Amino acid sequence: MIYKILTVIGLATFEIYAAIPAGFAFQLNPISIFLYSVLGGLIGVFVAAYFGDIIKKWISTFKKNKVEKVAKEPGFVLKIWQKYGVIGLGLLGTMTVGAPISIGIGVGFNVPTNKMVFWCSLGVLLRCGLFTAIGHFGLQLI
């Protein structure tokens, strides 16, 4: 049983989309799946945020000032950033690509780490609740 729990937590650290179906495959209680996936997701948020901040500071010691090229057409993430800011990046980014990637993009945009951690944590909580409910009620239909 402990291996099943640790597997769900470990998968949720990197990708919640894999952790929740694994929890259902292990026949865990939906509330347990929600709690363990939230725990793993929050671990992923904190590791990505604070470890990513350390890596950014280390890389900046080697970085020389260069003239940046401006892209002609802004990408999807930049559009979200320009339209919704930190909240959009934290919530929408976490819901679509995952919290570690959203944290990495936020660090790249020089967003304060504590703000990104808050909004990505809220996104993890919402995503785990939503997908656990979808999985539970979807299995009830079968």
Judged against a pLDDT cut of 90, whether residue 56 lies above it is answered with no
Which pLDDT band holds residue 97 (cuts at 50, 70, 90)? Answer: confident
Residue 140 to residues 16, 27, 29, Cα–Cα distance (Å): 21, 13, 13
Per-residue confidence band for 108, with pLDDT thresholds at 50, 70 and 90: confident
Q: Report percent pLDDT > 90 for the chain.
A: 45
The answer to whether residue 70 scores a pLDDT higher than 60 is: no
Q: Are 40 and 9 in contact (CB under 8 A)?
A: yes
Contact 96, 127 (CB under 8 A): no
Confidence category of residue 101, pLDDT binned at 50, 70, 90: confident
Which pLDDT score is estimated for 71? 54
Cα distance between residue 75 and residue 95, in whole Å = 18
Which of 31-35, 47-51, 66-70, 80-84 has the weakest average pLDDT? Answer: 66-70
The full DSSP string for 67-87 is PPPPPSS--HHHHHHHHHHHH
Residue 78 — pLDDT band, cuts 50, 70, 90?
Answer: confident
What is the mean pLDDT of the segment spanning 87-113? 84
Length of the chain: 142
